[in-house]
Amino acid sequence: MEVFSDAPRPHPWGFWATTGWALLSLTAAVVVATAYAMWWRSTHPDQSLSLALNGPLLLLCTAAAAPVQIGLLALAARLRRWPAGEA
């Protein structure tokens, strides 16, 4: 059951604020993925670090970075009073 409200919706972030949040979330995801790759390299010194040939490392870096990026973008939506799950 859906409940419809006549309450005005908040305005979305402007262009520069949206760009800033996107860059912040991208930077945070890259930092997490890089840190994970460095940790992985220290624990597996005998294996190649080539991302083009190392599927498990790419998978694990993506799995570590994605929640950070999604979480920051959900936070940006919540700060603007938008439900993070709404399309």
How many folded domains does the chain comprise? 1
pLDDT single digits (tens) 23-81: 999 999 999 999 998 888 888 788 766 655 678 888 889 999 999 999 999 999 889 88
Domain that holds residue 42: 29-79
Question: Does residue 86 belong to any structural domain of this protein?
Answer: no
Question: Does residue 85 belong to any structural domain of this protein?
Answer: no
Nearest C-alpha neighbor of 73 from the set 32, 9, 13, 31: 13
pTM for the predicted model, two decimal places: 0.76
Instruction: Give per-residue burial for 21-57: e unless 16+ CB within 10 Å, then b.
Output: beeebeeebeebbeebbeebeeeeeeeeeeeeebeeb
Question: Does residue 53 belong to any structural domain of this protein?
Answer: yes
Residues 6 or more apart whose Cβ sits within 8 Å of residue 37: 49, 57, 61
Question: Does residue 75 belong to any structural domain of this protein?
Answer: yes
Question: Does residue 21 belong to any structural domain of this protein?
Answer: no
Question: Does residue 3 belong to any structural domain of this protein?
Answer: no
Please name the amino acid found at residue 67.
P
